[in-house]
Structure 1
Amino acid sequence: MATVKQILNKNVRAYIGKTAAASATADFEKVVNENELSMAWSSDTQEIDTKEGGKITTEGTESYEFSFTVNHAFTDASTPLLQRAKNKAWPYQVRNGDKLLYSGQFIINSVEAGAAATSVFEVSYTLKNAGPVTEYDLETGEAITETVTP
């Protein structure tokens, strides 16, 4: 029987740069209170009508969007960084344990906050890429693609 791979699990976490110039792994702070993380990728392709080939589709600008929710149940060193980084290009990483999954410059373009019934303050952040995003192989952590700057 085949072994089930545990690639996407509780170890997949968001990290924010300690400064706007962060680049080394040690320059990033784990978002400790993050409880939910999702990624959406899209491409704004262009369609062209031609006399010979009919309608063709050409490459478009790629867009990455990450959303995550934090619950502020614990003291988290990333909280002031997230507050400082709103509407600014800032370095972020998504890691699975010690392996990178995504890295790049993102802008927090949406924040929603609310107090849940359990008295835990929750904040949801949405990040949109502000530059090239490097995607890494899920198993090896090796870089596999880099998008073109939007």
Structure 2
Amino acid sequence: MTRLDLFGGVFLTTFGLFMIFVAIPMGTEDGMYYGLPPTFFPTLLASGLTLCAAGLTVQSVFRMMAGRTGDAVPISRWNLLMFALLVAVIFAGVVLLDIFGLVIGAPLLIATLMVILGDRSPLRIVLTSVLPVAAFYYLALHILHTPVP
């Protein structure tokens, strides 16, 4: 797994740098709104991806220099089916976000993922799906003065 981690880290680091310096600046225009520029959030997310990928690359290089190789983890049919289910649920959640907006779509997506992943406590599901969305909505609207769909 160390070689795959190295290749994945290098690829994702390169992709993140491409997003930060080429794709995001070319794909956005100067905003007419007050507050944060439209490139802020995409650049922040791409920077986080790039930092994590660079960390994976460095960790892989150190492991290879130490002569340690990770064991390959076999992927079962159940793992692939769960992955496909989660991808479908996330895609449906993005469609819900587009149709109903953040206030309804995001808590539904979070709650659905929690149930699929095995959480059965209704109180925990409701609190975990509603409170972060409410906090983000308040932060975006009232503190950052950024419009939220």
TM range, smaller chain: under 0.3
Bigger fraction of residues in helix: 2
- Greater Cα radius of gyration, structure 1 or 2: 2
Structure with the higher strand share, 1 or 2: 1
TM-score normalised by structure 2 residue count: 0.19
